[in-house]
Amino acid sequence: MSLLNKLFGKEPKKVVKARCPITKESIENGFGYLLTTTQVISSKKYWDMIMTEPETLSYTISHFSNQPNGTHMRSLIFEKFSSIEKPWIVSDSCINLFDVDKSEAKELAQQWWKNEGNFTLQEAGPAVERMEPQVFQLFKDYAVLEAGRSRVPVL
């Protein structure tokens, strides 16, 4: 069938798939919300969740027990997420972590789907490049030094 499509100039339509980078769940075509990295890292709720997930909880406990390796790992986690260039397509189950205009984020996701994933925003890019340095530092300090404090037992 592929040979016939090539002969008659028909290319199969690209199937765009999305997976929420937070919950890892598949997002069906036409659903989800589009956020920038700046919007994501500006959420204290997001950081409280990220820093207390099973994969990161030991670093958080170490950090609050004054062990430098825990703080260092939390800093690396922040750097990883804050440096993402592309917009995030997030699922319905986690949009409430973010203080954003949901209808606008949903509309932007629709444009992303319509453009087969080739839609980006001028505001997209690593947060360190898009935020004022002092504001970026405030969110970094929260993520690295404070996130999850109320959710872990401090020894």
Residue 61: phi and psi, rounded to 5, are -65, -45
Using one digit for the tens of pLDDT, what is the confidence trace for 85-102?
999 999 999 999 999 999
Token reading at 60:
């958080």
Q: Are 22 and 98 within 8 A, CB to CB? A: no
What are the domain boundaries of the chain?
Answer: 17-150
Straight-line distance from the first to the last Cα atom of the chain, in angstroms, rounded to the nearest whole number: 65
pLDDT tens by residue, 2-20: 555 555 565 555 677 899 9
**CA-wise closest residue to 88 among 131, 135, 37:** 37
Q: How far apart are CA 68 and CA 72, in angstroms?
A: 6
The DSSP element (H or E) to which 59 belongs, if any, is: helix 57-64
Q: What is the DSSP letter of 94?
A: T
Residue 35 CA to residue 112 CA, distance in Å, equals 11
How many angstroms separate the CA atoms of 93 and 139, rounded?
23
**Vertex 144: Cα angle to 91 and 33 (nearest 5):** 15
Distance in angstroms (rounded) separating the CA atoms of residues 46 and 119: 24
pTM metric for this prediction: 0.86
Strands 18-19 and 26-27, sheet pairing: antiparallel
**pLDDT of the chain along its 155 residues, tens only?**
555 555 556 555 567 789 999 999 999 999 999 999 999 999 999 999 999 999 999 999 999 999 999 999 999 999 999 999 999 999 999 999 999 999 999 999 999 999 988 887 888 999 999 999 999 999 999 999 999 999 887 65
